Amino acid sequence: MKLAVINFSGNVGKTTVARHLLAPRIPGCHVVAVESINADDGQPVTIRGRQFAQLQEFLQSVDNVVVDIGASNVEELLKLMRRYRDSEEDFDGFIVPTVPARKQQQDTAATLAELARIGVAPEKLRLVFNQVDDESPIDRTFETLLAYCASSGGVQPRPAALLSFNEVYALVRGTGQSLAELAADRTDYKAEIARAGAQSDKLALAHRLAIQRLARGVIPELDACFAALELQRLPSGEQAMPAA
């Protein structure tokens, strides 16, 4: 299974979706962040032809990979995909996260339109409704984007492919651990807090307890979102993705 996570917008959750939703649920999955290619000088990076060639070669050499395409690279990448005819076929699917803000919904529609233009079939596209507010229904929150989907006859929205707003994604960054590791942490922090002497130690342990609880709480939602994506129904999914 080879997936690209893509959107013209930054801050829609591409990196979050790649690392926490997709990669942990695909056996032996590599994550490639296109924005990190030669990004060590701190300048925004665009993929050049040679790097794109390397990316394509890498894609041929692995079975399961998620490519997280940073927003500054998307247009360049799509241009290169047009030049390297049929290279979009290297991907089984294109995962497009989106968030409620109107500007991001418009950018998401533009991303879907561009993918259609380079020849990606609608069946290869999946939206992920990210940072959803539990109180408001998807059809209201994402009205702009859903109207585009209905009128373009392209991607079929799967309303259950959603991730709620959850502070765990920000917290997990500071820990250097994965959500699965944090959820599997068996430490009894309540007992440790009771044993700790200094208040600062108690507070540090209370922070760990909060992360452990949030991590355990979010895993079922990630599992449900992943199932709702129905990646086994991608055109090449049956071979690429053994049934769970």
Ligand X SMILES: Nc1ncnc2c1ncn2[C@@H]1O[C@H](COP(=O)(O)OP(=O)(O)O)[C@@H](O)[C@H]1O
For ligand X, the binding residues (CB under 6 A) are 10-16, 130-131, 163, 165-166, 169-170
* Least distance from ligand X to the Cβ atom of residue 133, Å: 10
* Least distance from ligand X to the Cβ atom of residue 12, Å: 4
Of 10-18, 122-130, 138-146, 201-209, the window that binds Mg ion (rule: CB under 5 A) is 10-18
Check residue 87 for interaction with Mg ion (CB under 5 A).
Answer: no
- 107 Cβ neighbours under 8 A, 6+ residues apart: 7, 8, 9, 12
Closer CB to ligand X, 170 or 244, in the complex: 170
Structure tokens at 106: 């418009």
Of 141, 142, 108, 139, nearest to 125 by C-alpha is 108
Among 7, 9, 15, 73, binds Mg ion (CB under 5 A): 15
* Least distance from Mg ion to the Cβ atom of residue 33, Å: 7
* Least distance from ligand X to the Cβ atom of residue 8, Å: 10
Question: What string of H, E and C letters represents the secondary structure of 47-101?
Answer: CCHHHHHHHHHHHHHCCCEEEECCHHHHHHHHHHHHHCCCHHHHCCEEEEEECCC
What residue ranges bind Mg ion (CB under 5 A)? 14-15
